[in-house]
Amino acid sequence: MVELQGRFARKGGRALGVTASLIGFLVLVEICSGIIQGYYIPLVPDIVKHLGIHDADFNWFEASQLLLTAIVVPIMAKLGDMYGHKRILLIATVFTAIGSWALVAADSFWVFLGAWAIQGFFSVWLPLEIALIFDRGRRTGSAAGDTRRAAGLLVVALELGAILGALGGGRIFEALGGDVPTTLAIPAIAVTLVFFVILFGVRESEPLPEKRTLDLTGFVLLSINIALITGGLSLLRLNGVETWWVWIPIALGIIGFWPFGRYELKQKDPAIDLRLMRQSRMWPVQLTAGLVGISVLGAQVPLSTYAGTPRENGYGLGLPAGQLSLLIGAYLISMIIGAILFPIVSKRATPRIALIASAISVAVGYLLLIPFHLEVWEVVMCMMIAGVGSGALVGALPAAAAAAAPPGRTGIASALTSTSKTIGGSFSSAIFGIVLIGGAATTVTAGASSLAGYMTVWAVCGLSAAVAVVLLLFVPKLSFSDAPEGGAPDDGASEGGAPAEAAPAEAAPEGDTPADAR
């Protein structure tokens, strides 16, 4: 008994060391990521005036960044699997810093557009961090458990950074006397400092001995398809569903995945391992990421506009900007709570059950908005319910994908959840924009959207999360749990068809008894 306790103590100590030694530095990286995502929001009106453009033109900045990140994230993650995740994380940080400093100097629409897009390289930070953590945890036999706990902490850091950025952006702008370029230098300084945090504080992942190749043709085909789909969705949002030609690039992008798939299946080291993607512990996770992106990325602007809609329309909360920021802050805090709770629920139940519970939370939160939306407390309650699930899934999905991937594929697997989420967000942004504009003519106050439009948004978010619940039911019961030799008992069977649970205990190295497989 003493010996057994000693083995578990050694294991727990090593797992804690893995998390503590690496997470401290990566937390700073995610705080910076949150600052980037929150800092510019209160500055949008002043940036528009500074550049001499219209409010609607700012949509092009967001569209360009979504397009670039959807393309570069899987490529950078694959390079991380090949050459080291820290090395590619540093390169991504350099590009992010270049884009951030270019925003400071930008004085025209086109320069700002290019700089904003380049800054989007920060989107690859989280997938690469997940891969780094999983690689470190694999050496102790507790990769899946360590990664879940670490991912939760990273999401907490991300949301705290977003809160700091959103609260600090406007105040710093006022303190600097309304100087836009100087105000925009703050995120650039933060990114620059983060480069040195990574350089000196993060240890490189261990490369695999076999020779890897970059499937350039596969990535070119993938990039073209993603560009056609996300670009077409942006045009759809700007021109409306009745404009027939905007559907052409979307259709071409979808059709293009057929020759892409046939080509990839013939490659020894493909850009996207489709055989891995079609496994039951992987495809539900990737599809869930896209469905979650609908609400996480697409529903925030409708929430803000609904909260600010004057009550004389018969709906809306009529909140001023200051109180609106409190509503958004409550949502972000609920995401932090979800990120903290997810590894706890995973340990007490299973990661699969925790994922399903998180998706249910998102579905319930948005569907409850349909009957409960007239009072501030009702909206806050619903958004906090949805926020708990969203916060859990933001970190849990890339961690789950990494746990389901074999060695050498963790970076690209976790990155694809980001790409799926981006595509889902692009789709929902386009559809929601059209739906909300469509009923504006029936409202009392100018510029307001119809209640039916908002209900449609909430219904789409809730039902998409409900579909994710169904998809996650197809995941094998013990997926994403720690297993001997870093293998996964996920599909209930090994490659040869034998049940994974029947693997002999001797397969695990001494002291590496799986603690999280339940």
- At how many degrees (to 10) do helices 321-348 and 351-368 cross? 150
Same domain, 248 and 292: no
Nearest Cα neighbor of 32 from 193, 203, 201 is: 193
Give me 339's structure tokens: 């990120």
298 vs 258, residue with greater confidence:
258
Q: Which of 322-326, 409-413, 447-451 has the lowest mean pLDDT?
A: 447-451
| Residue 503, pLDDT score | 35
Residue at 362 is within a domain:
yes
pLDDT in tens, 407-425: 778 888 889 998 899 888 8
Residue 210 lies in a domain: no
In a shared domain, residues 358 and 288:
yes
pLDDT at position 454 over 60: yes
State the Cα–Cα distance between residues 254 and 394, nearest whole angstrom. Answer: 25
Contact 183/40 with Cβ under 8 angstroms?
Answer: no
Mean per-residue pLDDT over the chain, rounded: 81
- What is the pLDDT, as a whole number, of residue 255? 95
The answer to whether residues 3 and 34 belong to one domain is yes
Same domain, residue pair 325 and 179: no
Distance CA 130, CA 394 (A): 12
Between 180-201 and 44-51, two packed helices, what is the crossing angle to 10 degrees?
Answer: 120
Specify the DSSP element, H or E, that contains 448.
none
For residue 404, which amino acid is it? A
Better-scored residue on pLDDT, 5 or 330 = 330
pLDDT at 160: 92
Do 188 and 48 fall within a single domain? yes
Q: Is residue 13 part of a domain?
A: yes
CA of 202: how far to CAs of 89, 100, 138, 501, in Å? Answer: 10, 22, 16, 35
Indicate the pLDDT class of residue 451, thresholds 50, 70 and 90: confident
Contact 342, 358 (CB under 8 A): yes
Give pLDDT tens digits for 8-55: 334 444 444 445 566 888 999 999 999 999 898 888 888 888 888 876
Decide if 363 contacts 462 (C-beta within 8 A): yes
Which among 40, 43, 30, 42 has a CA at the least distance from the CA of 160? Answer: 30
Does 371 score more than 80 pLDDT?
Answer: yes
Residue 204, phi then psi, degrees to nearest 5: -70, 150
Q: Select from 158, 29, 174, 137 the least CA-distant residue to 89.
A: 29
More confident residue, 339 or 1: 339
DSSP per-residue codes, 317-337: ----HHHHHHHHHHHHHHHHH
User: What is the rounded average pLDDT of the residues 180-185?
Assistant: 94
Q: CA-CA distance, 243 to 235, in Å (whole number)?
A: 9
Backbone angles phi, psi at 513, to 5 degrees: -60, 125
- Pick the residue with more confidence: 144 or 111? 111
The most confident of 59-68, 267-276, 365-374, 497-506, by mean pLDDT: 365-374
Dump pLDDT digits (tens) for 471-506. Answer: 999 988 766 765 543 344 444 433 333 333 333 333
Mean pLDDT of 67-73: 88
pLDDT in tens, 220-251: 999 999 889 888 887 887 777 778 898 999 99
Mean pLDDT for 449-473 is: 91
pLDDT at 504: 35
Residues ≥6 apart with Cβ < 8 Å to 332:
159, 162, 163, 387
Residue 146 pLDDT greater than 80, yes or no: no
pLDDT of residue 303: 83
Quote the percentage of the chain above a pLDDT of 90: 37
Residue-level pLDDT at 481: 66
pLDDT at 514 > cutoff 60: no
Let me know whether 184 and 286 are in one domain.
no
User: What is the CA angle 122-423-23, rounded to 5?
Assistant: 35
With CA atoms as reference, report the closest residue to 339 among 27, 18, 85: 27
Number of domains in the chain: 3
Question: How far apart are the C-alpha atoms of 387 and 364, rounded to whole Å?
Answer: 11
Q: Is the pLDDT of residue 61 over 80?
A: yes
Question: What tokens were used for 137?
Answer: 């945890």
Check whether 402 has a pLDDT greater than 80.
Answer: yes
Residues 313 and 450 occupy one common structural domain:
yes
Higher pLDDT pick, 505 / 455 = 455
- The answer as to whether 265 is a domain residue is no
**Looking at residue 475, what DSSP letter applies?**
S
CA–CA dist 158, 336 (Å, integer): 9
With respect to residue 266, please indicate whether it lies within any of the assigned structural domains.
no
Instruction: Check whether residue 348 and residue 311 sit in a common domain.
Output: yes
Asked whether residue 495 is domain-assigned, the answer is: no
Say whether both 326 and 447 belong to one domain. yes
Q: Are residues 237 and 294 in the same domain?
A: no
Top mean pLDDT of 21-35, 103-117, 262-276, 443-457 is at 103-117
Distance in angstroms (rounded) separating the CA atoms of residues 497 and 280: 14
Sign for the pseudo-dihedral over CA of 272, 273, 274, 278? negative
Per the document, the length of the chain is 518
Residue 498 lies in a domain: no
CATH number, residue 475: 1.20.1250.20
> What confidence score (pLDDT) does residue 379 get?
92
Question: Residue 220 sits in which domain range?
Answer: 215-256
The answer as to whether 516 is a domain residue is no
pTM of the entire predicted model: 0.80
- Which parts of 34-95 are beta strand (E)? none
Q: Structure tokens of 139?
A: 């050496």
Do 422 and 291 belong to one domain? yes
Q: Are 108 and 243 in contact (CB under 8 A)?
A: no
Closest C-alpha to 393, from 348, 434, 363: 363
Contact 397, 128 (CB under 8 A): no
Instruction: Tell whether 288 and 251 lie within a shared domain.
Output: no
